[in-house]
């Protein structure tokens, strides 16, 4: 679908559709990373988990290689979209480890 509005993003997004672990305190939540950019990601998570705007959490995205450690970052929730059985979180990286 083509739109007439210009893309305002500074960084390109990569569609990756990969498992990601969200860490909130001692809670580990399995989710799916839908896309990734240099400053954030879009994450699908079941609606059984409640999140709030501005909440911070750690994201851990595994790699397919044992030689590479998982990508880990502290992130802040900047968008929450309810999509029926799941919600899509937009997170912005605060710090990358």
Count of H-run helices and E-run strands, the chain: 0, 6
Q: What is the pLDDT of residues 15-30, one digit of tens each?
A: 788 999 999 999 999 9
Q: What is the mean pLDDT of the chain?
A: 86
C-alpha to C-alpha distance for 67 and 23, rounded to whole angstroms = 23
Q: Is the pLDDT of residue 2 over 60?
A: no
Q: Which CATH superfamily is domain 14-96 in?
A: predicted glycosyltransferase like domains (2.40.10.220)
Q: What is the pLDDT of residues 57-77, one digit of tens each?
A: 999 998 777 777 889 999 999
Q: Which residue has the higher pLDDT, 43 or 9?
A: 43
Residue spans per domain, the chain: 14-96
Q: Is the pLDDT of residue 89 over 60?
A: yes
C-alpha to C-alpha distance for 2 and 19, rounded to whole angstroms = 29
User: Which pLDDT score is estimated for 3?
Assistant: 45
């Amino acid at each position: 679908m083509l739109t007439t509005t210009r893309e305002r993003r500074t960084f390109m997004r990569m569609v990756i559709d990969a498992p990601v672990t969200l860490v909130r305190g001692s809670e580990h939540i399995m989710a799916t990373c839908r896309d990734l950019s240099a400053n954030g990601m879009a994450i699908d998570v079941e609606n059984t988990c409640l999140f709030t705007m501005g909440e911070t959490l750690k994201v851990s995205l595994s790699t397919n290689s044992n030689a590479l450690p998982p990508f880990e970052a502290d992130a802040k929730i900047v968008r929450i979209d309810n999509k029926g059985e799941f919600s899509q979180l937009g997170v912005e990286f605060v710090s990358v480890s």
